[in-house]
Amino acid sequence: MTGSRADGSGPRVAAALWAISPELVTALDDRLGLPVDSYVNGAQTWLTDDGPHGETLEWRLHPVAGYQVPHGLTHNDVWEAAVDAARGHAGPGGPRLLAVGDLWDGLECYAAYGDDLEPAVLAARAAERLGRAPDAAGLVDHDAVADRWERTRGAVSIVELLGAQLRS
């Protein structure tokens, strides 16, 4: 459900949110495969056509506040190294175990192209695809979150900002 709020902030869109865990990372790998994009800022993104009418859903792992690419890796290597760590495997050339909680705060799922979905419908479809229910779902204002994240140059947690909106 979209629409601008009275305070002038951006439209509110349906979103589902999961806290980060090794189990979440392995579920993403098992059910969605490799991300379609791995960003320098730490975000990892997948696109699936799992909406109730074939809408594209975007799945985004949000980086921790102040994220830095781990030493010895490029942003393109982080996902596979983190999956190896979540599965308890050593990386190429020896152990390079990464704690997923040092990389990401959580996962968000939302309609990729602004489609109007009800939060409960989105949460159910996302849970079905991922094999685990979200920790929270509701309406969020991505514009407000992005503005705050950009103003602080990534020093705030996107997941905490989204979670605060979902609790309000």
CA–CA gap between residue 79 and residue 81 (Å, rounded): 6
Task: Tell me the residue range of the domain where 67 lies.
Answer: 12-167
Q: Does any domain span residue 67?
A: yes
Closest CA to 51 of 77, 98, 102, 16: 16
DSSP string, 30-45: HHH-S-SEE-TTS-EE
Strands 104-111 vs 57-63: parallel, antiparallel or unpaired: antiparallel
CA–CA gap between residue 96 and residue 89 (Å, rounded): 9
Q: Does any domain span residue 6?
A: no
Q: Does any domain span residue 88?
A: yes
Q: Does any domain span residue 96?
A: yes
Chain centre to alpha carbon of residue 131: 16
Q: Does any domain span residue 2?
A: no
Give the three-class secondary structure for 82: helix
Contact indicator for 83, 44 with CB cutoff of 8 Å: no
Q: Does any domain span residue 7?
A: no
Question: What total of structural domains would you count in the chain?
Answer: 1
CA–CA gap between residue 150 and residue 94 (Å, rounded): 36
What's the one-letter identity of residue 102?
A: D
Q: What pLDDT is stored for residue 97 in this prediction?
A: 58
Q: What pLDDT is stored for residue 94 in this prediction?
A: 47
Q: What pLDDT is stored for residue 39 in this prediction?
A: 95
CA–CA gap between residue 145 and residue 30 (Å, rounded): 29
CA–CA gap between residue 81 and residue 32 (Å, rounded): 16
Indicate if the alpha-carbon torsion angle 152, 156, 157, 160 is positive or negative. negative
- Write out the chain's pLDDT in tens, 168 residues: 444 444 557 899 999 999 999 999 999 999 999 999 999 999 999 999 999 999 999 999 999 999 999 988 999 999 999 999 899 876 555 445 578 999 999 999 999 998 999 999 999 999 999 999 999 999 999 999 999 999 999 999 999 999 999 998
